Chains A and B, each alone.
Chain A
Amino acid sequence: MFFYLLRRVLYAIPIALAVGFVCFMLVQIAPGDPINAIVPADAPADVVEQVRRDYGLDKPLAVQFAIWLSKVVQGDLGRSLATGRPVWDDLRSAIGNTLMLAAFASGLGFIMGTILGGLAGTFRGSIIDRAAVTTAVAGVSVPHYWLGMVLVVVFSVQWNMLPAMGAGPGGSEDWAWNWEHMQHLVLPSITLAVIPMGIVTRTVRGIVAEIMNQEFVTALRGKGLGGWGVFLHVVKNAAPNVLAVMGLQLGYLMGGSILVETVFSWPGTGLLLNSAIFQRDLPVLQGTILVLAMFFVTLNLCVDLIQTGLDPRIKRG
């Protein structure tokens, strides 16, 4: 057990390095000289040469990677071409906003998905089951950026109930726990929650149905245990796998919120990425993707470790 955990943690290191390398290569595969990703296009030639030497861009690729990596480890993700500010400064507040949106959305999606999937798995073949399965298929098939637009049309344009854009009144980016700010979260969270809802419904339905068919459930019933008692046993058995799926979904939401953030102008990493793409601001693109991917790697690791800890049936040695 201990050695499994150790090995799993150690295995995350080469993965993280490889992820770093892929992010490093993003600037290399971009068309044109990578130097253009660091200095503005109108910089004089001698400045370009100076920067090229300073950044080590005249050195071999492997050396460049090492230099880049040592800077990243110290928290230096370079400077934005558009604003000239350090990438990390812009990224820090954006990550907070994205994390909040992703947390709300995944919470909503998990609760809905667990309820729907649990009901569907328990009453398999019933109308509830069919409705839940249909909702789940619709949830994973819907282009969520479009769903966001529809919600804006209905709730903001037609009924004028909820704000369509931003994270606070008047485009303010300072978050506060009051309704003026909270109402900006409602539509993006619902939009983003649709995918995890669909996936969690499917997963929970499958797991619950499988557990309900097992002999120990029949045995519990035979001993005279009522609905709630059986339910608790099922929850205990289903929890580790369901938690694993949920953890991965949270990671997908962190990375996948770019489209929804664009629709709602939510000031998170997605919007940052979107403007970086438009302005071809490669350092911002690279830094944001690196941080999000590292978050995903860490989350994967945590999910694995927690799952191993929670489920005594998993004996990894």
Chain B
Amino acid sequence: MSTATTAAAAELAVQARQAAAASDGYWKGVLRRVSRDPMTIFCTAVLVIMFLAILFAPLIAPHDPYQGSMIRRLRAIGTPNYPLGTDELGRDILTRLLYGGRLSWFMGIVPVLIAFSVGTMLGVTAGFMGGRVNMLIMRVTDIFYAFPSVLLAVAISGALGAGIMNAILALSLVFVPPIIRVAESVTQGVRNLDFVDAARASGASGLTIVRVHVLGNVLGPIFIYATSQVSVCMILASGLSFLGLGTRPPEAEWGLMLNTLRTAIYVQPWVAVLPGVCIFVTSICFNLVSDGLRQAMDVKG
């Protein structure tokens, strides 16, 4: 008897909670769905820890990232004082990984942010205006689609020469066209909905409609797409540095570290592959978080 009552009460409580949840805002729902997804939480935690570690690198790094020594070159993992070994110039790997993460993250995220702003602007304009404007923007986008992304990045930064700014410029250019396409197609989907017609009929100007009615509906899907590109961008950015096109020595950056340690794979193979582990872990976490967000925000595509 009593168990039945408790069960009934519990069921009522669940129903009440569900009703409350349903009346909550969209973002609370997203948060709730994310909180039930252990994989996304785990990956977010890994990313947060990594971010804090590279942010406070000067405080926690045991050594100077640029201070090398000829007598302690290429030590193995587990050397006292140098837990992850030393590189080909005797610099502490752990320290350089911490400092290197700063540039790798920077070059993985900033180009996508730039591309997100520029691409959204152009894509929404193309999708909303239609006609000749759409034609012009989308046909120019087609041209950049005619290059495989790695090739485009290598071509532009190869012509401009090595350097962080050149690499960021090249990578931004790589990610703008796909974001334009996504933004254009979602905007076209929203443009013909009834509430946009209603707003137009009530005399709202184009800019107001975009600001109030369109952006709120298209930013989500575009943002999700952009987050999925962060991992691609990070791999590509480190790849440019690996080719000697992004950051330059003695700067610490994961791709560049992989490049300079490549000559050491016969001496200290497991030390040499460490920077790649960092890139891999970051990139897979960004990918999984992006997948989790996509599901939680119920975005298709």
Contact = CB atoms under 8 A, between A and B. Distances in A.
Given A143-B276, A277-B244, A259 B262 contact: no
A136 to B, nearest CB: 10
A289 B155 contact: yes
Interface stretch (A2-10, A171-179, A248-256): A248-256
Given A18-B143, A30-B160, A31-B160, A289 B269 contact: no
Which residue among A251, A255, A296 has the maximum number of chain B CB atoms within 10 Å of its CB? A255
A258 B150 contact: yes
A74 interface: no
A91 to B, nearest CB: 14
A50 interface: no
A216 interface: no
B265 A255 contact: no
Majority secondary structure of chain B interface residues (helix, strand, loop or mixed): helix
A278 B243 CA distance: 9
Which residue among A19, A251, A259 has the maximum number of chain B CB atoms within 10 Å of its CB? A259
A137 interface: yes
Interface in B126-170: 142-143, 146-151, 154-156, 158-161
B217 to A, nearest CB: 24
A215 B181 CA distance: 32
A153 B160 contact: no
A145 B234 CA distance: 13
Contacts of A27: 159
Contacts of B243: 258-259, 262, 274, 277
Given A146-B273, A149-B273, A158-B269, A277 B148 contact: no
Interface in A235-261: 251-252, 254-256, 258-259
Contact of A140 (B147, B159, B287): B287
B86 interface: no
A141 B273 contact: no
A166 to B, nearest CB: 15
Interface in A132-161: 137-138, 140-143, 145-147, 149-150, 152-153, 157-158
Given A31-B160, A157-B265, A273-B158, A143 B148 contact: no
A85 B214 CA distance: 56
Contacts of A149: 258, 262, 265, 272-273, 276
B280 interface: yes
Given A254-B148, A277-B243, A293-B147, A141 B269 contact: no
B238 interface: yes
A108 interface: no
* Chain B interface residue number, banded: 35 or more
A289 B161 contact: no
B161 A137 contact: no
B143 A19 contact: yes
Given A146-B279, A146-B280, A157 B147 contact: no
A282 interface: yes
Contact of A255 (B151, B161, B255): B151
A149 B270 CA distance: 10
A259 B151 CA distance: 10
Contacts of A152: 265
B60 to A, nearest CB: 25
Given A19-B143, A252-B149, A252-B150, A146 B156 contact: no
Given A145-B239, A277-B243, A285-B158, A256 B265 contact: no
* Chain A interface residue number, banded: 35 or more
A157 B266 contact: yes
A157 B264 CA distance: 11
A26 B152 CA distance: 11
Given A26-B156, A142-B280, A143-B279, A153 B148 contact: no
A31 B280 CA distance: 34
A30 B156 CA distance: 9
Contacts of B242: 145, 259, 262
B288 A26 contact: no
A15 interface: yes
B19 to A, nearest CB: 29
B155 to A, nearest CB: 5
Nearest to A292: B151
A70 to B, nearest CB: 21
A211 interface: no
Interface string B232-274: 0001001100111100000000010010001001100110110
A297 interface: yes
A28 to B, nearest CB: 9
Which residue among A277, A280, A292 has the maximum number of chain B CB atoms within 10 Å of its CB? A277
Which residue among A30, A145, A278, A296 has the maximum number of chain B CB atoms within 10 Å of its CB? A145
Given A153-B270, A157-B265, A252 B276 contact: no
B273 A153 contact: yes
A300 interface: yes
B283 interface: yes
Which residue among B149, B151, B161, B272 has the maximum number of chain A CB atoms within 10 Å of its CB? B151
A143 B158 contact: no
Nearest to B283: A141
A152 B291 CA distance: 31
15 contacts: A15-B143, A19-B146, A19-B147, A138-B284, A143-B258, A146-B275, A146-B276, A149-B258, A149-B273, A153-B272, A259-B150, A277-B158, A277-B245, A280-B161, A296-B151
Interface of A: 15-16, 18-19, 22-23, 26-27, 29-31, 137-138, 140-143, 145-147, 149-150, 152-153, 157-158, 251-252, 254-256, 258-259, 262-263, 273-274, 276-278, 280, 282, 285, 289, 292-293, 296-297, 300
